Structure 1
Amino acid sequence: MKTESMTDRMTTQISLKDIRDYIAKNHHQPLTIEHLAIISGLSSSYFGEAFKRAFGLSATDYLTELRIGHAKQLLRDTDLLLRDIAREVGYSDEFYFSRKFKKEVGVSPSAFSKLARQRISTFSVSTIGNLLALGIIPVAAPLNAKWSPYYYNHYQDKIQVHVNIFDAESEDNFRKLASAKPDIHIFQEEPSLSMLDWLQTIGIKSVYIEAKDWRTQLREIAVAVKRQSVCEYFIQSYEQKVLEAKQEIKQVTKEDSFAVLRLCGDQLFLYCNKGIQDVLFTDLQLYPIDGQQQTCNELITLDQLVDINPDRLLFIVCPDSQTRNYWLTLQYLDRWKELQAVKNGHVYVLPSNPWFEYSAIAINRMLDEMLLMFTGKNPNSFPVPVHGIVSDSEL
């Protein structure tokens, strides 16, 4: 009788999720597609297809994302030599690592290290999202568990000084900013003359970003912090993701009409902010109902909504108890049940975060959430991803 080998038992038990976890734990090791396929019990070609189908990116892209992300952290936070960083993240050849890093990030490792050590501060949550898109973690920024939960949860330990999110020009914020010793402070709201004078007095350069659309905002910040190539890489990556997401989402939604609503208390509002307009109706080219082609926040009754009768409803529900109670009540009303979107199960609740923020990272997250909402595909496993392609047999 043939005895099952240990390898056979391993290959029958290891799932694709286990393989992804294995890559994450061993990304510093020399991994190949062939090796990963063997331990998954699949052929090399089928493993590659299955992994990408399951997680939205190839195993090589995932490994590169992990390695480059780790390298960026080491370049930013340590004084290790380049050859040591290359080996630490899984590349035996520092010159190959340098080429790979520049291809993925847009600048060389040495340039990234120098730029990453610039100390940038801001009083704006949106600026945090724009800085992160450029690979910069600010030394001082507003963090709040309720009003900026994404950044609070993922970056509270990395952002050294947490300033007040509501009172930018308070004495407490001045003291905190002085203690952070930033080189540059970025405003996305017009600062007072007294604030500008104070920054100049203590040697902090101030930059005011006046642009209204996120791409131009990002480009203006990139010029100020000398990250133009990183900026263009981020925008190009986003545009490519839009093309892919638009095709996949359109296969699901076809010619359906969309309405975005905000519920506050017992009142309904036809709602569209700049981010929703950009992602849903400009980039993804979904079909808005009449009156929602532009930004709006207009009161609408349930009867009026039934008359319009959109195919799909996206809801932003204010988090207070009164609104939540009415949201539950609304779903039992006969008029509500008449809506085509309700009958078809096409009602989607949007969280205020990121849908109330307007920044490069928030826009990118909105796109990801739309793809996940309508196709079930989650394109990212990390808060601020770095995507890339590996062409060699060694990942």
Structure 2
Amino acid sequence: MSSFGYHLTGLVRMAGGPELRLPPRAERHALIFIAEGSGRIAIGRYGSSFGPMKLYWCRPGDELKLHPAPGQPVCLYRISFDIIRLPSSEAGPAGSDGDPTASWGVRELTLVHPGKVSRLVRALDAALRGGAAHVFFQVQSLFYELLHLVVPRPGAGAGCEPAARMEDVVAYAREHYADELPRGKLAAMAGVHPDHFTRLFRKTTGSGYVDFIANIRIAKAHERLLTTKDSLLEIARHVGYKDEFYFSRKFKQIVGTAPAIYRKKPKSIFSLASIYTAGLLAVGHVPPVGSMTPWLSRRYDGALRQGALKPFYWDTCDIGQLKEQPRPDIILCHDMQFDEAQMDRLRGIAPTIAIPFDSMDWREQFAAVAELAGEAANARDWLDRYDARIESAKVRIARQVDRRETVLILEIWSDELMVYGDTYGRAGHILYRSFGLAAPRNVRERVMAGTGYLHIGLEQLGEYDADLLFLIVHEDKASRRTASLLKRSEEWSALRAVQDGRVYEFDGGLFYGCDPVSTEAQLQQIVRSLSESSR
């Protein structure tokens, strides 16, 4: 690190439940230390499951995504810093014009002394919170001590350099599978002779180089056969084959079925995300294996009792156990659910489709899932019936809710208070989008214009005052206790909706989801509650 200076610019402690998120894009270099909790993190193209005592790094401009596991409160520290090139007289003999982070490897840094790292991070946090001018040198000293512990030093492990480089070569091959990838080019990237490269590649991946590329290409072809209407020639060229006939032979050799026949046959689907399990069930397709929520399992108790569906819960599955089940045609998950290594394991079982979680709304996800199951027409009919129910419901609730009035969605989960907008379930997509009801100004400006949700303190509750309040409370003891304390507070009593008797309380398990089954049940409860109330 001698050619560069590292200047600490800030430290932010972040804590929360399932909706905790990082800023969408890094503005500076940063270290992200996970102190508590588990889930999934993505930094640029790197993705991984995370747990406590993990450390990651990012560059300015990297896209950041964090998805805590349900029921797993997360505490993390985001440590921002600038890298400053030192004048040559200060750089010393190790000076270099390259990017110093180039030698840091993948975005997770190995912690040899996790306890010491944790203590240093907390000490940094405490020193910065003190705010006194004299602590500047103290925090910089602590920061450099932290960097010394966690940042790989150039030259460390040089004897294993080719093997270490192979991970980057394999990652490059995965990303550029459709390009011409001569063995000599990749061997040069690894810094080894082509013959040694072949042996090293097999040792690293467990597969020969030619078979490795062919399997990736056919897996990607699988996905396009399932998710597009492209011709076989278009798919062949997209995955790196110039000839559709050679592609068809290779596909049949690996899969056992010609691509044209594979595309038409009925599909057995493993659904590893509860929102997609619900979508399949809504069109009458019962997956042999499916992720469920407790509410969804109660809703489809009959299918579970008959053994038609083997459930697991909250989108957390043991990939090894999936191999013990009859092989499906498709595995469904969302795109922020598994890291690349886990996705490779899933693809080793069956073609795996990762449906976008953030960039598609619940209707688009439902249509995509139904299309994969061969139930596109049933999904369109379901959505048409839903739209008709919405129009009918709008007429009924118009007697209770004036279009000029505002509606607040407040969720209690454990000891957290969260305000929601028109995404992330909690019936926001029904109230704000389908019904067209108005959100309070601060919800529009701070929530809908931001991440779609916001953790608030009790003292902030009055800033989101509304004519109607939809209170969503989860069934665990901590949530019920928090709700009880909230209802006895002065802040609660001061709310306009509380004073006017226009608070509607709903079950957090049901109102958590934004899938077709949950949405339909949420709509029924909302209309019933509003219809039974009086102005």
User: What TM bracket, shorter-length normalisation?
Assistant: 0.5 to 0.7
2:500 alignment partner, one of 322, 344, 358: 344
AA in 1 matched with 2:270: S
CA contact (8 A) 2:470 2:504 kept: yes
Query: For 1:328-356, what per-residue CA distance to the aligned partner results, in whole angstroms no more than 9, with x for missing partners?
Result: 23333344323221122211112122221
Matches within 5 A, 1:144-155: 145=294, 148-151=296-299, 153-155=301-303
In 1, Cα distance between the equivalents of 2:383 and 2:527?
A: 18
In 2, Cα distance between the equivalents of 1:326 and 1:233?
A: 41
1:298 alignment partner, one of 455, 476, 481: 455
Query: For 1:173-215, what per-residue CA distance to the aligned partner results, in whole angstroms no more than 9, with x for missing partners?
Result: 332xxx243232222235555555555555x333222252111
Cα displacement (A) at 1:162: 2.5
What corresponds to 1:310 in structure 2?
A: 466
In 1, Cα distance between the equivalents of 2:501 and 2:394?
A: 21
Matched, 1:184 2:333: no
AA in 1 matched with 2:458: T
Cα displacement (A) at 1:118: 4.2
What corresponds to 2:287 in structure 1?
A: 138
Q: Which runs of 4+ in 1 moved over 6 A?
A: none
Matches within 5 A, 1:1-395: 118-143=267-292, 145=294, 148-151=296-299, 153-158=301-306, 159-163=308-312, 165=314, 167-175=316-324, 179-190=325-336, 191-198=338-345, 201-202=348-349, 204-210=350-356, 212-254=360-402, 255-264=404-413, 267-272=416-421, 273-275=423-425, 276-293=427-444, 294=448, 295-302=452-459, 304-306=460-462, 308-376=464-532
Bigger strand fraction: 2
User: Which of the two has higher C-alpha Rg?
Assistant: 2
Cα displacement (A) at 1:269: 2.9
Distance 1:126 1:166, change over 3 A: closer
Paired-residue identity, % = 19
With structure 2 as the length reference, what TM-score do the two structures score?
0.43
Larger mean Cα displacement after TM superposition, 191-200 or 357-366 = 191-200
Structure 1 portions without partners, runs of 5+: 1-114, 378-395
Cα displacement (A) at 1:116: 12
What corresponds to 1:101 in structure 2?
A: none
Q: Secondary structure at the match of 2:353?
A: strand
Cα displacement (A) at 1:313: 1.0
Cα displacement (A) at 1:282: 0.7
Aligned residues: 257
Distance 1:164 1:310, change over 3 A: closer
CA RMSD between the two structures: 3.0
Distance 1:311 1:221, change over 3 A: same
With structure 1 as the length reference, what TM-score do the two structures score?
0.57
The structure with higher relative contact order (CA 8 Å, sep 6+) is: 1
Query: For 1:271-320, what per-residue CA distance to the aligned partner results, in whole angstroms no more than 9, with x for missing partners?
Result: 33432331110101112111323111231434x43355311111122434
AA in 2 matched with 1:351: D
